[in-house]
Structure 1
Amino acid sequence: MLSITPPSTGRLLISEPFLNDPNFKRSVVLLAEHDEEGTLGFILNQPSALLLKDLVPELPEANFSVFIGGPVEMDTIHFIHRCYGKLNSGEEIGNGVYWGGNFETLKILVNNNDLEESEVKFFLGYSGWGRSQLEQEIKENTWIVSAQFHPDVVFSQDEEEVWREVILNLGPKYAHISNFPTDPRLN
């Protein structure tokens, strides 16, 4: 596979179908930051067994799913959202999607039931690449870079379909990949 789209903030990384790295198997990563120093992103389709209330004692009713953002600093919680009007904070990633923001305000909104899962997504840890590391992995055909994304895909709770849907959105050149079996021996 040849990815001609370069990585940048607000783009999606799609793992090649037979990537053996268990951290990134059939993963879709939203790039929250990309510059000459490196890249940071969050895996959108790897749910954990935890809910937000399991991690934040001040949110005893927070039944929000928590996803594995990546293998780096798994003792940290991150979030993305599309409700800037409610939080009034966060770094815009693109397409009305923001990374982080005022966590105290977020806790108030969650406790008051003023947020829905379709507006915010939580992650344990993140995915990170050092200087030029991601570009090298792209040259090795580990990743395909998507030039655009729809916010509904980012906030989808159907992790089984996210990878497939993002592949199909790349167009006819890549559509056949969406039907590859998880285990290539079954092909």
Structure 2
Amino acid sequence: MAKLLPAAGVLLIADPFLKDPNFMRTVVFLCEHQDEGSFGFVLNRQYDFTLDQLMASAEGMPITVYYGGPVQMDTIHFLHQFPDKIPGGFEVTDGIYWGGDFETAVSLLKSGDIEVSGIRFFIGYSGWAEGQLQGELKEKSWITSRGTSKLIFHEDFNAIWKDALLELGGDYEQLVNYPIDPQLN
């Protein structure tokens, strides 16, 4: 598979040897990439609090929130698959939307008009300054792939990193078995 350049809709799959504690064994979904910088959300790291613990408007809704990244940890974002029901979202790629009217999303979840399986909430986000992500790609910190609904809304967040590599096939399949610290092997 050809290496994808960073762009909206691309997944950044952490190299098995990436040691940064914010991104070790993570998969980041890029929502935007421009010369000035990039941003996205870590898909496979669960946050310590649920949505109802973070937002009064979500009372009674113990929905999982994911750690989107280390930037602006006082903000909540969401990805979803309901553009016809949640106004104001931005299509990142193939039926995957970022943001929109938060109160509408919460109201639709409360009423059962949308399923939790088609929406993901994130606290904070992952961001890169101008040229920073390109530098990390040159250092081979990230493996790129196309973002898919199957991975972004995966029912088992612990399997996203492994499944993203397995989808790439070939030599990438071997990476799932690499130890976090090869010196301990």
TM-score for the superposition, normalised by structure 1: 0.93
Structure 1 runs of 4+ with >6 Å offset: none
Q: In structure 2, how many angstroms separate the alpha carbons of the residues matched to 1:117 and 1:184?
A: 38
TM-superposed CA distance for 1:112, in Å, is 1.3
TM-superposed CA distance for 1:106, in Å, is 1.2
1:164 is aligned to: 162
Which deviations, in whole Å up to 9, do the C-alpha atoms of 1:139-168 show, x marking residues without a partner?
A: 00111111x232021011412210000011
TM-superposed CA distance for 1:19, in Å, is 1.1
Contact 1:117 1:155 in 2 (8 A): no
- 2:148 is aligned with 1:179: no
Root mean square deviation, CA, Å: 1.3
Contact 1:167 1:175 in 2 (8 A): yes
Secondary structure of 1:85's match? coil
Long gaps (5+) in structure 2 = none
1:137 is aligned to: 136
Q: In structure 1, how many angstroms separate the alpha carbons of the residues matched to 2:180 and 2:116?
A: 28
1:97 is aligned to: 96
Secondary structure of 1:87's match? coil
Judged with a 3 Å threshold, the aligned counterparts in structure 2 of structure 1 residues 132 and 58 are, in CA distance, closer, same or farther, namely same
Q: Give the letter aligned to residue 135 of structure 1.
A: Q
Between Structure 1 and Structure 2, how many residues are aligned?
184
2:19 is aligned to: 20
More displaced stretch, 94-103 vs 83-92: 83-92
Identity %: 44
Judged with a 3 Å threshold, the aligned counterparts in structure 2 of structure 1 residues 160 and 182 are, in CA distance, closer, same or farther, namely farther
Contact 2:71 2:125 in 1 (8 A): yes
Q: In structure 1, how many angstroms separate the alpha carbons of the residues matched to 2:26 and 2:18?
A: 9
TM-score for the superposition, normalised by structure 2: 0.94
Contact 1:59 1:110 in 2 (8 A): no
Contact 2:4 2:10 in 1 (8 A): no
1:118 is aligned to: 117
